Amino acid sequence: MQQTTVYNEGYSVILNSGFSVVAAAATGNEILKESFMDLKIDELIIQLLRGQHKRSINSLFDVIRILLTPADNRVVASQVFGYARKFAKIGIAEALVDALHEGLSSPSLVKQALL
């Protein structure tokens, strides 16, 4: 039986659509952000960023931005700071810089690499 990886060519449209849904759902909603992080979406994102088909998943970078942006700026100890630490521990900075070196040009990617 052939092993299927999550970022195979045939799954690009599905992944892009799925990340679009995650981005829309998590925008301004700390509870959903927490739920997605509990489902280890951060690990999936890193796996995809290190994969060979990241060019075809445009909404991936929007999800990173939304997960790491507080829904309410008045909340000093927002959970997104914990999410940012979790992303940092699993290597998001290196993955984003590598993506930039490979020539990816998404406005969201450039913004995330600069944060």
pLDDT at residue 96 in the model: 85
Residue 2 falls inside a structural domain: no
SS3 of the chain: helix, strand, coil, percent, to 5: 65, 0, 35
Give the pLDDT score at 22: 95
110 belongs to a structural domain? yes
Report the domain count for the chain: 1
Give the pLDDT band (50/70/90) at residue 1. Answer: very low
4 located within any domain: no
Who wins on pLDDT, 22 or 7? 22
> Is residue 3 in a domain?
no
* Tokens 């993506």, located at residue: 99
Contact 19, 67 (CB under 8 A): no
Q: How far is CA 63 from CA 22, 23, 97, 99, in A?
A: 7, 5, 17, 16
Average pLDDT of the segment spanning 13-35: 91
The number of C-alpha atoms within 13 Å of 62 and in the hemisphere containing its C-beta is 16
Does 90 fall in a domain? yes
Q: Identify the CA nearest to 69 among candidates 15, 107, 109, 115.
A: 115
For residue 103, being part of any structural domain is answered with yes
Residue of 65 and 56 predicted with greater confidence: 65
Look at 41 and 73; give whichever has higher pLDDT: 41
Q: Quick check: is 36 in a domain?
A: yes
Within a domain: 57: yes
Residue 28 has pLDDT above 80, yes or no: yes
d(CA 35, CA 52): 27
- Angle, to 10 degrees, between the axis of helix 30-38 and the axis of helix 41-49? 70
Comparing C-alpha atoms, which of 98, 99, 91 is closest to residue 56?
A: 99
Is residue 87 pLDDT above 50, yes or no?
yes
pLDDT > 90 in the chain, percent = 34
Residue 75 lies in domain: 9-114
